[in-house]
Amino acid sequence: MSGIITATACVGVVGLLIGIFLGIAGKKFAVEVDERETAILGVLPGANCGGCGYAGCAANAHAIVEGVASVDSCPVGGAACAAKIAAIMGQEVSSEAPKVAFVKCSGTCTKAKNQMNYVGQMDCKMLSQVQGGGPKACSYGCLGGGTCVRVCKFDAIHVIDGIAQVDPEKCVACGQCVANCPKGMIELKPKASKYAVGCSSKDKGPAVMKVCSAGCVGCGLCEKNCNFDAIHVVDNIAHIDYDKCKSCGLCAMKCPKKVIQRLDGQPIPEPKAQKAVGQ
């Protein structure tokens, strides 16, 4: 009986000593957390999507306090979240226009040709390693493997008719689809802009036409007809300068391949016939 009492007493004393040691060590080696960091973490949406470029919301909050990340670095929270963080940091938030992801491809199953029949795991990164760059004959086209779908935490992108398509109402421009597309064909564009070029091919017109009926042939009609110097053909593909674009739609009207898409769901009006001189 005395042995049990002795053992119990020893265990109690050891536990007490360990508790005292841990208490002292906790105070001595405690890492001080800036109150602003805690406050910012409470404002961030908690999506931990990585769209800010950091591992999660906690890492982003720390980076903001350290001055490494901007107060508007969270794409999910948007302007409201940025304003609250700016108030915590005593800073002003920039007025950058909201963005949305866009897939630069119009090569659906009926428009783009295949060079092979692929049987295997549907993953874009794996498909891009297949000989020839994937089953599609166009080496620049969307592979349709759904890698972007799996990395999106907001259900904003889906593969429809062989190509990835973005739901602008759900997209928060976190950039995960952009970072994980092995073809580099997804970009972030201003959400307010109504038009975008649905092609990524840098091949010349005849080569494009052999593999896809919806590809840009680099004809330059969009560039010639733009009144704002907002679109230019570079490396056989049209590029829109969104800082200059007024969304007038003239480039889309003049595009013979209809590869310049209107993104708000409205039809592109047909170009008006030009009257002859003297009429």
pLDDT in tens, 67-107: 888 888 888 888 889 889 989 988 887 667 789 999 999 99
pLDDT in tens, 101-160: 999 999 999 999 998 888 778 899 888 888 878 888 999 999 999 999 999 989 999 999
Mean pLDDT over 62-66 rounds to 90
> Which residue ranges form the domains of the chain, and what is each CATH number?
35-89 (1.10.15.40), 99-262 (3.30.70.20)
pLDDT value of position 1: 64
User: CA nearest 186: which of 153, 218, 159?
Assistant: 159
pLDDT in tens, 154-163: 999 999 999 9
User: CA nearest 181: which of 202, 164, 162?
Assistant: 164
The answer, as to whether pTM is greater than 0.95, is no
| Dist CA 84 CA 185 (whole Å) | 34
CA angle in degrees (0–180, nearest 5) for 160-162-168:
40
Give the contacts of 62 (CB within 8 A, at least 6 positions apart).
37
| Dist CA 267 CA 264 (whole Å) | 9
pLDDT value of position 279: 40
Q: Give yes or no for residue 27 having a pLDDT over 50.
A: yes
pLDDT value of position 256: 93
